[in-house]
Structure 1
Amino acid sequence: MHFRGILFFPVTPFSPEGAIDHDLLATHVAAGVEAGAGGVFPACGTGEFHALSASEAAAVVGTAVTAVAGRVPVIAGTGGPVGHAIDVARSAADAGADGLLVLPPYLVGGTQAGLIRYVEDIAEASDLPVIVYHRGSAQYSVETMRRLAANPRVVGFKDGTGDIGATQLIVRAVAAEGRADFAFFNGLLTAELTQGAYRGIGVPLYSSAAFAMAPDIANAHYRAYTDADEERRLALLDGFYRPLVELRDETPGFGVSLIKAGLRLSGLEVGPVRAPLVDPTPAQHERLAEILAAGRALL
Structure 2
Amino acid sequence: MTHNTFTGVFPAMTTPFDDDESIDHETLRAHAQRLEAAGVDGLVPVGTTGESATMTHDEHIDVVETVIDAVDDVPVIAGSGSNNTREALDLSERAANAGADGLLLISPYYNRPEPEGMEHHFRTIADAVDLPQIVYNVPSRTGRNVAVETAVSLAGHENIVGYKAASGDLGRIGEVIERTRGENFEVLSGDDALTLPTVSLGGSGCISVAANVEPEPTVALVGSALAGDFDRARQLQYELGDLFRTLFVETNPIPINEAMEMRGIHPATMRSPLSRLRPEHREQLRAVLEDLER
SS at match of 1:40: coil
Question: 1:228 deviation in Å?
Answer: 5.1
Instruction: Please tell me the residue identity of whatever aligns with 1:289.
Output: R
SS at match of 2:104: strand
Instruction: Establish whether residue 264 from structure 1 lines up as the match of residue 253 from structure 2.
Output: no
- The range that moved more, 58-67 or 258-267, is 258-267
Q: Out of 41, 45, 57, which is 2:60 matched to?
A: 57
Question: 1:271 deviation in Å?
Answer: 4.0
Match of 2:274 in 1: 277
Rate the CA distance shift 1:103–1:113 in 2: closer, same or farther, 3 A: same
| 1:102–1:130 Cα contact (<8 Å) kept | yes
Measured in 1, the distance between the counterparts of 2:233 and 2:132 equals 33
- The range that moved more, 265-274 or 58-67, is 265-274
Matches within 5 A, 1:145-294: 145-175=151-181, 178-179=182-183, 181-188=184-191, 191=192, 193-226=193-226, 230=230, 232-242=232-242, 244-245=244-245, 247-251=246-250, 253=251, 255-294=252-291
| 2:11–2:212 Cα contact (<8 Å) kept | yes
Instruction: Establish whether residue 76 from structure 1 lines up as the match of residue 78 from structure 2.
Output: yes
* TM-score between the two structures when normalised by the length of structure 1: 0.87
Instruction: Please tell me the residue identity of whatever aligns with 1:148.
Output: L
SS at match of 2:8: coil
SS at match of 2:152: helix
Give 5+ residue unaligned stretches, structure 1: none
Measured in 2, the distance between the counterparts of 1:77 and 1:57 equals 8
SS at match of 2:180: helix
- Root mean square deviation, CA, Å: 2.1
Cα offsets for 1:266-289 (capped at 9, x unmatched):
222344122232221344333212
* TM-score between the two structures when normalised by the length of structure 2: 0.89
| 1:9–1:207 Cα contact (<8 Å) kept | yes
Cα offsets for 1:182-233 (capped at 9, x unmatched):
1110112xx1x22232123211311221110122443443455456555554
Measured in 2, the distance between the counterparts of 1:18 and 1:130 equals 30
Measured in 2, the distance between the counterparts of 1:53 and 1:257 equals 20
Measured in 2, the distance between the counterparts of 1:54 and 1:154 equals 23
Matches within 5 A, 1:122-137: 122-136=125-139, 137=142
Measured in 1, the distance between the counterparts of 2:201 and 2:179 equals 13
Measured in 2, the distance between the counterparts of 1:265 and 1:50 equals 24
Match of 2:150 in 1: 144
Give 5+ residue unaligned stretches, structure 2: none
Matches within 5 A, 1:5-44: 5-44=8-47
Measured in 1, the distance between the counterparts of 2:39 and 2:85 equals 34
Measured in 2, the distance between the counterparts of 1:45 and 1:286 equals 24
| Paired positions, count | 287
| 2:78–2:100 Cα contact (<8 Å) kept | yes
Rate the CA distance shift 1:182–1:224 in 2: closer, same or farther, 3 A: closer
Moved over 6 A (4+): none
Instruction: Please tell me the residue identity of whatever aligns with 1:286.
Output: E
| 1:54–1:84 Cα contact (<8 Å) kept | no
Rate the CA distance shift 1:125–1:59 in 2: closer, same or farther, 3 A: farther
